[in-house]
Structure 1
Amino acid sequence: MTLPGASATVPDLLRLVAVPVFAWIAIRDIKTRRVSSGVWIPLALLGAALLVWDAWVARSAGPLAWQEFLLPTAISLGFVVPIAYLFWWFGGFGGADAKALMVLALFFPAFPQYVVGSWTVPLTTTPIGSFSFTILTNAVLVGVAIPVVLAVRNAAAGRVAPVMFVGWPVPWDRIPETHGSLLQTTSGLSRRGLDLDALRMYLRWRGLSLSDVRDDPDRYRDPSTLPDEPNPPTDGAVHAARSDGGESVSAESDGESIVDGSESVDEPTASEESKTDDPWGAEAFLSDVEGTAYGTTAEELRDGLEVLSSEETVWISPGTPFLVPVFVGLVIALVYGDLLLGTLL
């Protein structure tokens, strides 16, 4: 919180640490789709300490400053935090997205103020004065703009398709290093397809690479080629402790022998009935892994494998993580202010 007529306070200067941290979080989320829960704890503690500091300064400055502190703080903690939790509860946000917004609600309850040369930023404010709410609305607007950017990019390259607003085509050999989901099925383009993390889990579980599958798809459709002792599937992240799904696994990792699924086994784990009822061993995989493979069904896994075993180029959705719009929304808020209300008012 910055008092009228003053330059940036010490708490507001300390709040700028959020910019490089959220930049790192956004980059990590793009590359791995994984953000450690441990990153939020120090940020939350610092945010809480700065909030107490602001409260003490505002209380000491008089009733007007105290009132100007209470309203945006109440909106930040009483609205932004619950809405982040509710969106996570109903599946609209990932856990990291919700935690990021909760941390920002602590970090930026009110509009900060920074003097850069002859400029004072943010350039605009809002009547309610809740900075975390501004970051949220900015992030939503940036998120809405992403499909438009994708469509323009695809149109400029001559790639006109029903899914041009949500994805783009990539060569098959980039799939092992790509997060997102297939937008392509055996019956055509679709907005819902195989989760690529689930695909990597399956390949690691069998000890195969995507190249193995493409080299001999008929062989691997037969579940009798499933290994006796499947490998740990990991969580499907591109950079995992074990096989990355891009190379056949034949080495030892963490002291455990990993079976190469490209080799036949003497005692197949699949029953005679499953040899005809479970192509690719999809049901065997899903029944063996703990929990669910990101909600993937056996039919989706089979269909995705059929596509990837033959197509040279496939459409995928990168599924841009919301932490990227959150970071961009934070930067816009610090420089300009509220994209929506600041423009309209």
Structure 2
Amino acid sequence: MSMDAFSLPAIMLPLLINASILLITLLYGCREDIRERAVPVVMWYPAAAVGTLMLIWFWYSVITSGDLPYMMPLIPLILFFVIAFYLFTRFHLMGMADTKALILITVLVPCFPFVPLTGYPLFGFPPYVFFPFTVLFNAVVLNLLLPVAFFISNLIKGNKAPLPYLFLGYPVKGETIADEFGIVMEHFEETDGTLQRSFIPVRAAIKDMLAGGKRVYTKSLKENPTQYRKELDLYKKAGTVWISYGVPFLIPITAGFLTAMIFGDFLMALLTLIAS
């Protein structure tokens, strides 16, 4: 069985079909998440339906080819990742759409459909090499680059805030904050006509997020303007309001999915760079 870059073992054809359908689904989901700030549930149905049929074909091929012993070590990894992704949502670390995407990737494309440019990474016996870990790692790496980009952008624009907030967000116009995408990072109070503002401590914000507390999302401002009338008035008076960057994690997941398929594992590239 050839192991050249982009070679496709015949047994992986159903996974390639799954990967193609998932990529289309993820790209559409990113578009909806950016435009509507929500991913329609029905979006996942075609990928799940076709993916299930392809998965039956794949596992049947694995069993009949006698390759099941090579695949067995990956089964606990698949179960572990599915449970872990569910718990991420349970403890408010990830949105429901993100969890659905990662679970579908884990179940429907457990192995690399073909050999990526950098070759197979760890976690499996070729060609049954665990794909979801690479997707997640690449997504996290790409997501971690965003704070650096925001820090540089804030410095260039001359935006002033305590150091951590320069990495975590940016100021927007209070008058149009409902049209932005993110979470409000400041607290406002008006006493005797004087507006007072302060940044919400990062630790308190994280604690509140984990507890499912009442963070002010710009999405909520747009969908429930009457409920947030007081906050919207204060934001207008403030002129500008700092919000955390609201790039949906579905976008890094999609980018991680695509880079994993084509280039392979960023972790392996990093280890190779360190070793050299």
Q: Distance in 2 between the 1:202 and 1:39 partners?
A: 25
Q: Secondary structure at the match of 1:314?
A: strand
Structure 2 partner of 1:82: 83
- What count of residue pairs does the alignment treat as equivalent? 239
Choose the corresponding residue for 2:218, options 196, 199, 214: 196
Q: Distance in 1 between the 2:28 and 2:237 partners?
A: 37
Q: Distance in 2 between the 1:92 and 1:4 partners?
A: 40
Q: Distance in 2 between the 1:154 and 1:73 partners?
A: 45
Deviation at 1:306, TM superposition (A): 4.9
Q: Is the 8 A contact 1:184 1:307 kept in 2?
A: no
**1:192-271 pair list within 5 angstroms:** 192=205, 194-203=216-225, 205=226
Q: Distance in 2 between the 1:183 and 1:173 partners?
A: 16
> Are 1:175 and 2:170 matched, yes or no?
no
More helix by share: 2
Structure 2 partner of 1:246: none
Choose the corresponding residue for 2:166, options 164, 169, 175: 164
Structure 1 partner of 2:249: 322
Deviation at 1:35, TM superposition (A): 0.7
Choose the corresponding residue for 1:126, options 101, 104, 121: 121
- The structure having more radius of gyration, on CA atoms, is 1
Q: Distance in 2 between the 1:188 and 1:149 partners?
A: 24
Structure 2 partner of 1:147: 147
Name the TM-score, length of structure 2 as normaliser.
0.77
Deviation at 1:88, TM superposition (A): 1.0
Deviation at 1:22, TM superposition (A): 0.8
> Are 1:54 and 2:54 matched, yes or no?
no
Deviation at 1:41, TM superposition (A): 2.3
User: What are the ranges of 5 or more consecutive residues in structure 1 without an aligned counterpart?
Assistant: 114-119, 206-284, 286-297
Q: Secondary structure at the match of 2:167?
A: coil
Residue by residue over 1:115-162, the C-alpha shift from the partner in whole angstroms, topping out at 9 and shown as x without a partner, is xxxxx5242322312101211122222222221221122122222422
Structure 2 partner of 1:270: none
Q: Distance in 2 between the 1:59 and 1:137 partners?
A: 29
Q: Is the 8 A contact 2:181 2:247 kept in 1?
A: no
Q: Distance in 2 between the 1:13 and 1:194 partners?
A: 41
Q: Is the 8 A contact 1:125 1:342 kept in 2?
A: no
Structure 1 partner of 2:210: none
Amino-acid identity (%) = 27
Deviation at 1:48, TM superposition (A): 2.3
Q: Is the 8 A contact 1:73 1:130 kept in 2?
A: no
Structure 1 partner of 2:30: 26
Q: Is the 8 A contact 2:25 2:47 kept in 1?
A: no
Q: Distance in 1 between the 2:2 and 2:59 partners?
A: 15
**1:98-109 pair list within 5 angstroms:** 98-109=99-110
> Are 1:11 and 2:11 matched, yes or no?
no
Q: Distance in 2 between the 1:202 and 1:58 partners?
A: 51
User: What are the ranges of 5 or more consecutive residues in structure 2 without an aligned counterpart?
Assistant: 124-128, 189-196, 206-214
Deviation at 1:73, TM superposition (A): 4.1
